[in-house]
Chain A
């Protein structure tokens, strides 16, 4: 077992880890005191130097994103937290909301000061009722302790948090879809530019960050950018939370440095494959990440490592398939998801996700046609990059990789005419 320093998860095992008292007893809100004495630009610089990258999916450098807020703008600025966790195979933000909610509150206040925001929104997926309750409790505690509201901790800085519940739509995890939803509309993504940092929520400069990304910030301020950067690779700092699920002995949230390999996550941290079976494939970064075969797991689990392996780190949701899994059936399940969740705004996405699901379904039903595989690949590749948001590109990842890496399995199913 690899042992590494636990940052996010250090208090997860404590029954009262969600309380202000416990958070404070373990150093909580000391970073805030430090940040309130720092110049906002110094906070942004520190986060840039830490190599913190967005942990929701896009892996964009967080400090750089903060720097996109127009200089000298007197318009209201908003900090929006994306807690619309929905990427299949991902569940780490749920743990943070329930077991370390004050890290998010503290990180938000620091981030808000860095970007000059006085109002933050936390967009929590509607199904997350318990996480919403726990996080709401933490926000109430923070207000009662003078950590939120007017003149935080005797400073001149004001910041309020509004908690907003979603209502069931994967697309609202896409940052501009989320903003549409926050504005009281259906969750249709918006064309960029303008980027949210210039024109975001309610038409004003807005930074949208993932829960885990912001929960990292207090640790960076407390212990320094060099320390955080030193935990990771040259281009990405820190440890992060990997959600490991599927056919492993110990599914769950694993905190590990981003230098960890996929093999180590599966075999050291998650106890290997269940029931003594063999590994067949792994989806390494949530369902939109292209699949890796059992021979491709010696890959470093940071953004660049997975990119080099032809996949992506995404939300770091690791879904493990043992040798009994039918890849065509798995593709059908994934295709059903994208067909259901396409918001319908862009034609290539709306049409392709629907038709690809139908084809995947008939292949599994034993009614596949010889040309179906090439048709799916053709449709998938043609549509990639033609839509307003990254949703369709995310669907193309599994469509193409499942078929290209397991083509023989699809072909023999089609040839046999039997269902999977």
Chain B
């Protein structure tokens, strides 16, 4: 993972950022896509990343800060190698989300919002991920995992390196 304290895109990533900017009537429309690219590259959106991205868009860093901090998917601090985000909204609540969160807290030894000491997993609770037919469910990095039980959670955790 590239260094979030000294961020710089590669030539290829810069070309991708420029391509994204050209898709919108005003290049600023590409700010979210470029922040996604930055997070994929640097791991999280540090103040330095905000400043770097602001430079690409010719925006004040404060504008980028305002945007980056508005959206829950942009991490402001380093996260674990894997992010486990458990839905605790209404249907998942009805179907036992609290038991799943408690099980994860116990297995990982962290509270929601924290990362395990070995940097393996960040545990989060999140609002509705709109997969209520599989409740209780969670997002593990890019994928949805549903119909969770303690046993299934253990299996999923066991596969995370």
Residues of A within 8 A of B (CB): 76, 85-91, 93-94, 119, 125-130, 162, 164-170, 181-187, 201-202, 204, 243-247, 251-253, 283, 287, 317, 319, 321, 325, 329-330, 333-334, 336-337, 340-341, 343
Contact = CB atoms under 8 A, between A and B. Distances in A.
A330 B93 CA distance: 8
Contacts of A246: 91, 94-95, 132, 135
Contacts of B33: 164-165
B35 interface: yes
Contacts of A119: 25
B157 interface: no
Nearest to A201: B25
B154 to A, nearest CB: 23
B23 interface: yes
25 contacts: A87-B130, A88-B89, A88-B91, A89-B90, A93-B130, A94-B131, A127-B139, A128-B130, A129-B142, A130-B143, A164-B29, A165-B33, A183-B26, A183-B28, A186-B71, A187-B71, A245-B135, A246-B132, A252-B133, A287-B89, A287-B90, A330-B90, A333-B89, A333-B93, A337-B89
Contacts of A93: 130
A166 B29 CA distance: 11
A319 B30 CA distance: 36
A217 to B, nearest CB: 23
A77 B51 CA distance: 33
Given A183-B28, A251-B135, A330-B90, A162 B67 contact: no
Given A85-B130, A167-B36, 18 more contacts: A86-B127, A88-B91, A88-B130, A89-B90, A91-B130, A162-B23, A167-B71, A169-B71, A181-B32, A184-B30, A186-B71, A187-B70, A187-B71, A202-B25, A245-B133, A287-B90, A319-B94, A341-B127
Contacts of A325: 94
A403 B74 CA distance: 36
A289 to B, nearest CB: 11
A187 B31 CA distance: 12
Interface string B6-33: 0000000000000000011110111111
B155 interface: no
Interface residues of B, number: 40
Contacts of A251: 132-133, 135
Contacts of B72: 167-169
Given A202-B25, A319-B94, A325-B94, A184 B89 contact: no
Task: Report which residue of A93, A162, A246 has the largest number of chain B beta carbons within 10 angstroms of its beta carbon.
Answer: A246
A91 B90 contact: no
B77 interface: no
Nearest to A250: B133
B128 interface: yes
A89 B128 contact: yes
Contacts of A341: 127
A312 B96 CA distance: 27
Contacts of B67: 184-186
B139 to A, nearest CB: 6
Task: Report which residue of B29, B32, B57, B139 has the largest number of chain A beta carbons within 10 angstroms of its beta carbon.
Answer: B32
Contact of A202 (B29, B70, B73, B74): B29
B132 A91 contact: yes
Interface string B80-100: 000000001111011100000
Nearest to A332: B93
A90 B90 contact: no
B67 to A, nearest CB: 5
Given A91-B132, A130-B143, A251-B133, A162 B89 contact: no
B79 interface: no
